[in-house]
Amino acid sequence: MEKKMEELRKRLREIYDLDSVIALLNWDQNTYMPEAAGDARGSQLAVIARIRHDRMVDPGLGRLLEELTPYEQELPYDADDAALIRVAKRHFVTESKVPADFVSCFYQHVSQTYAAWVEARKEDDFSKVEPYLEKTLEFSREYASFFPGHQHPADPLIDRSDYGMKAEEIRRLFAELRSRLVPLVEQVTSLPPTDRSCLTKFYPKEQQLAFGKKVIEKLGFDFKRGRQDLSPHPFMIRFADGDVRITTRVNEHDLSEALFSTIHETGHALYELGISSCYEGTPLHTGTSSGVHESQSRLWENIVGRSRTFWTYFYPRLQAEFKEQLAGVSLDEFYRAINHVKRSLIRTEADELTYNLHVIIRFDLELALLEGSLSVKDLPEAWRSRYQSDLGVAPQSDQNGVLQDIHWYADFIGGMFQGYTLGNILSAQFYQAALKAHPTIPEEMERGEFSTLRGWLTENIYQYGSKYTAAEIVKKATGTDLTIEPYLDYLTQKYTALN
């Protein structure tokens, strides 16, 4: 069995390295690649994706996993070898159902769609990407068809990022969350708006980036194992245990945009940097689900980064960096400004209270597209209608509407957005458990110390990578299943106190 495990790790390492090559090509496309290189990049990605898929569904790998199954069954469930065999089998079975030609065609299509989206967004013209999105919808439905027996066509797509969750389960959870959020949003937005003018003065780009770097170094981002660059849509990407990268975008007339996107992506990076290095080269060496991953970006961005305790330490340093812009602005005024609540159009710039309404709209539209009750050509109008009914505002342009997010233009339609709200819910549940274990965390944050919180998260979540499913991690770390109560308590207490 030892030799068979060695052979398994060798095969999985090759797949892992091919995944890293694909990630590197995607990172380059999203950062520094020339505009005219889109077609060539699509061809490159298609070739690598096909090779990767061939390795993943190699009958020899299937036989090896079958031979290792008795060994897996003999081991304790928590054993690393058992987890590796279990997860590798799941991936093999899933990918074996997807034809290689489909994979290479889809990657080439996605590269072309991304280039069309960049152009459409620049020109504020959905029609330029509409035919590509039509094709993406066809690809998405075809992918779902490879997994017969599902209750909803979104289920196999959701499984790709939040394994084990179903569309109807998420729909019910989101409906309950929405029913309890809407009254709170109504209550807070009926009050006089918060003055956030201190955030919208001129803040030079290089100074913003320098300050953001100091912040994330304090949080624990290791620049020897990572770097930060600029991109149109901020993201985190991992190539290896020692190469985890983040991006941000800078608005020189809104201090909060780069600052909080930097903290957000750092939350993702801390997760990846905290995974046990013994899992590198295997499918265990990545976050277990999009929901758990987003719980970390939202925990660090919002529960930590928008807290008064955080800014008790950092605000004097921010004032020293931007003396003129923040002269005479008190900590209380700044704290209120970064936590203002406003009905808005842009998901990535939304406040904590309204953010989930943005996600729920997208999730519902995905389901409608897959079900066939909504056509791609009617998507911009459906988007506007939902924003008007749910948030009381409607985009006057495609750029601020259906074109604002990259997700549908860089992957499938379906399973793209639910992780954000699942992450918000879990962020509060995890933080509550960390506070229970270490009640002094807020006092430490006031002194600019984050190692206790990061240590608890590493011990209970990060180190395991994908060894456990999201449901198992939640139960293991908090003692309970996923629940919306800690999140709603957090929002209610915070925004009642603010208003």
Point out the residues that are catalytic. Answer: 265
Closest CA to 403 of 383, 433, 431, 424: 383
For strands 243-248 and 226-230, give the pairing: parallel
Residue by residue, DSSP assigns 315-360 as HHHHHHHTTTTTTT--HHHHHHHHT-----S-GGG--HHHHHHHHH
Confirm whether residue 264 is marked as ligand binding: yes
Nearest CA to 387 out of 374, 397, 372 is that of 397
Half-sphere exposure for 464 (CA within 13 Å, toward CB): 23
Q: Any idea what the Cα angle at residue 17 is, between residues 14 and 21, rounded to 5°?
A: 135
Pairing of strands 236-240, 243-248: antiparallel
Residue 208's closest CA among 183, 191, 228?
A: 228
Indicate the length of the chain as a whole number: 499
**Phi, psi (deg, nearest 5) at residue 126:** -60, -30
- The sign of the dihedral angle between the CA atoms of 441, 448, 286, 69 is negative
294 carries a ligand binding annotation: yes
The continuous run of DSSP H or E covering 409 comes out as: none
Would the annotation count 349 as a binding residue?
Answer: no
Compute the distance between CA of residue 214 and CA of residue 327 in angstroms, rounded to an integer: 21
Quote the CA–CA distance of 286 and 11 in Å, as a whole number.
17
Phi, psi of 449 (to 5 degrees): -110, 125
Sequence-distant contacts of 495-499: CB under 8 A, at least 24 apart: 495/184, 495/188, 495/339, 495/341, 495/353, 498/336, 498/339, 499/187, 499/188, 499/191
Residues 6+ apart with CB under 8 A from 159: 94, 147, 165, 415
- Phi, psi (rounded to 5 degrees) for 108: -65, -40
* Cβ proximity of 62 and 259 under 8 Å: no
Question: Element (H or E) spanning 161, and its range?
Answer: none
Query: How far apart are the C-alpha atoms of 234 and 371, rounded to whole Å?
Result: 30
Provide the annotated binding site. 264, 268, 294
Provide the annotated binding site for Zn(2+). 264, 268, 294
